[in-house]
Structure formats: structure tokens, C-alpha cells
Structure 1
Amino acid sequence: MAYVPLNIDLTNKQIKVIGGGKIAERRVKALLDSDATIHVISPDLTGNLYQLYLDEKIIWYKKSFESKDLDNDELIISATNQEEVNDVIKKSAPIHSLINMVGDAQGGNVIFPGTLKRGKLQISVTSTGASPKLVSNILNDLDKQYPIDYAEYVDFLYECRIIIKSLDLEKAKKNQLLESILSDQYFDEDEQEKLTNWLKRQPKKRAREE
């Protein structure tokens, strides 16, 4: 199966998670910030999932999975270790649904990559199920290369990009500025402040007259 890496906006989408154990918990935590509606089907929940239910972060159906439980779900996550349940999920899923089969990457059409987040920066790594340990090792290396405070540098780049796009400059000059802010010089907060203040003083594009 050929996988294409994508970032998907799941706002207001319906997600169905079958299973209430540690694996289901990891998937739910990865989706909490997506603004999707998360439904969990399981007779039991981990303590953390139960707390999310109490906090109304997820919707819990305290029951065993049945094929009729799948309807208009945009994303279905099979987080059980029961092969027969996994088979029913695959056969019952709506044709439009994305499916993640935990423990059997090739069984579905969605893989959850390992992800390093630094503010607006996200770096995702997957071995397409070949070696989760390799993914873990790579993420550990990335964690050292991009420390927590790297998020602030990314925020600086974002602010500068917004300002530069608004300036009354030729496209080539804008591209030159966007390239220059990637210099190691701007890891320094004082240098960041100097540049953003300078950019804010530059002439802006005039709005077109109707």
C-alpha cells in the first residue's frame, strides 16, 4: 500500500475509537487538540480516558463493539488486540472512512506517525510499520536537535513572514528577506526583536482602490 503524508484538519469531524486500553488512550491524546468529536466504544476505560470522559473531552459508549456502531465516521481507530473485532471493523467501515488499525499498519489506510512538536513546527516520522523502534530512535535524535525553546524561534519566523508578505516590495526582495531570517543570527532574542521592529517600520502595500 502506498501512503502519502498529509496534515488533515479534523475540526468538527467524527472519530470512532474502538477500545479503551493504553493504546486507545495514546490515540485519543494525539487527537484531543484536533477539535474533532471523539467517540470511544469499550466496556472499560483506562483511568486517564475515564477522566477525559468526566471532563467531557470524549463521548463514551460503555459496551462491546458491534458493526452497527460505525456510521458517518470520518476516522475509525481500531485499538483492540482482538483479531475478530478488527476484521469486523474493516468489513463494516463506511467506504469513505479513514481507518487506523493499531498493531497492523498495513491493515488500514491511515498510519499515525511519531511526531515531534515545537509550537507551529511539527516533524513526523514513520517507518510504515517496519520498525517502531527506529522511529523512536529518530525522534530522540530530533528532540536533541530541536529543543523545547525552538518553538519561540518558529513563532518569530511566522511573525516575520506575515509582516514581510505585507510589505511594498518586489517578490524577489521578499524571498531574500525570508531566506535571511533563517540565519543562526536570529536564534538570539535580541536580534529577533531588532529585526521585527525594523520590519514593522517598512512601508506596507497600499490597499487597492475600488
Structure 2
Amino acid sequence: MAYVPLNIDFTDKQVKVIGGGKIAKRRVKAILESDAVIHVISPELTEDLFQLYLDEKIIWKKKIFESSDLEDADFIISATNQQEVNDVIKKSAPKHSLINMVSDAQVGNVIFPGTLKRGKLQISVTSTGASPKLVSNILDDLEKQYPVDYEEYVEFLFESRIIIKSLNLENTEKNQLLESILSDQYFDKDEQNKLTNWLRRQPKKRTREE
């Protein structure tokens, strides 16, 4: 199967997670900030998942899985170790649904990559099931290369880009500024503030209403 790496907006999409154990917990936490409507279908939940249910972050269907549970699913996560259940999930999934089969990623059409997050920066790594250990090693290397405070630098880039795009400059000048803020100089917070203040003093392009 050929996989294409994508970032998908799951806002208000119906996500059905079959299983309430540790693996289900990891999958739920991976998509919790996506604003999807997350349904967990399982007779029992881990303590963490139950707390998410109490906090109204997920919907819990306290029951044994039935094929009818998938009727309106946009994304299905099969987090059980029961082959017969996994088979039913695969056969019952709506044709438009995305499916992640935890027991055998190759059976579904979605693989969860290992992901390093630094604010708006997300770096995802997958070996397409070849070696989860390799993915873990690469993520360890990335954590050293992009430490936690990198989040502030990415936020600076984001804010600067918005201001630069609004300036009354030719596109070539804007591109030069966008390139310049990638300099190591701007890892320094004081340098970031100096540039941001300077950018805010520059004339903005006029709108049609003006």
C-alpha cells in the first residue's frame, strides 16, 4: 500500500475508537487537540480515558462493539487485540472512512507517525511499519536538535510572517525579509523583539476601503 503524508483537519469529524485500553489511550491523546468528536466504544476504560470522559473530552459508549457503531464514522481506530473484532471492523467500515488498525497497520489505510511537536512546528516520522525502534531513535535525535524552547522561535516566525505580508513592499523585498528571519541571530529573544518592533513601525499596504 502506498501512503501519502498529510495533515488533516478533523474538526467536528466523527472518530470511533474501538477499545478502551492503553493503546486506545495513546491514540485518543494523539488526536485529542484536533477538535474531532471522539467516541470510545468499550465495556471498560483506563483511568486516564475515564477522566477524559468525566471531563467531557470524549464520548464513552459502554458496550461491546457492534458493526452499527461505525455507520457515521469518518475515522476509525481499531485498538483491540481481538482478531475477530478487527475483522468485523474492517468489513463494516464505511467506504469513505479512514482506518487505523493498531494490531496490523498495513491492514488499515492510516498509520500514526511518531511526532515531535514544538508549538506550530510538527515533525512526523514513520518507517511505514518497518521499524518502530528506528522511528523512536530518530525522534530522540530530533528532540536534541529542536529543544523545547524552539516553540518560541517558531511563534516569532509566525508573527513576523503575518506582519511582513501586510507591509507595503514589493514581493522580492518581503521574500528577503522572510529569508532573513531564519538567521541564527533570531534565536535570541532580544533580537526577535527588536525586529518585531521595527516591522510594526513600517508602513502597511493600503486596503481598498482606504
Does the pair score TM above 0.5?
yes
Aligned-partner SS, 1:87: helix
Aligned mates of 2:70, 2:63 — CA distance in 1 = 14
Query: Deviation at 1:55?
Result: 1.1
Please tell me the residue identity of whatever aligns with 1:160: S
Q: C-alpha offsets along residues 35-71 of structure 1, whole Å, 9 cap, x if unaligned?
A: 1110001111111011111111111111111111111
Matches within 5 A, 1:42-191: 42-191=42-191
Matches within 5 A, 1:30-41: 30-41=30-41
Q: Which residue of 1 aligns with 2:196?
A: 196
Aligned mates of 1:139, 1:199 — CA distance in 2 = 35
Aligned-partner SS, 1:57: coil
Query: Deviation at 1:178?
Result: 0.3
Query: Deviation at 1:149?
Result: 0.5
Matches within 5 A, 1:18-33: 18-33=18-33
Q: C-alpha offsets along residues 85-107 of structure 1, whole Å, 9 cap, x if unaligned?
A: 11110000000000000031111
Aligned-partner SS, 2:100: strand
Aligned mates of 1:56, 1:28 — CA distance in 2 = 13
| Unaligned segments of structure 2, at least 5 residues | none
Aligned mates of 1:68, 1:209 — CA distance in 2 = 54
| Unaligned segments of structure 1, at least 5 residues | none
Please tell me the residue identity of whatever aligns with 1:62: K
Aligned-partner SS, 1:117: strand
Please tell me the residue identity of whatever aligns with 2:45: L
Please tell me the residue identity of whatever aligns with 1:45: L
Aligned mates of 1:24, 1:161 — CA distance in 2 = 38
Alignment coverage as a number of residue pairs? 210
Check 1:203–1:91 CA distance in 2 against 1; reply closer, same or farther (3 A cut).
same
Q: Which residue of 1 aligns with 2:205?
A: 205
Please tell me the residue identity of whatever aligns with 1:126: T
Aligned mates of 2:194, 2:56 — CA distance in 1 = 45
Aligned mates of 2:115, 2:48 — CA distance in 1 = 21
Query: Deviation at 1:209?
Result: 4.7
Q: Percent identity?
A: 82
Q: Which residue of 2 aligns with 1:6?
A: 6
Aligned mates of 1:173, 1:73 — CA distance in 2 = 47
Query: Deviation at 1:116?
Result: 0.4
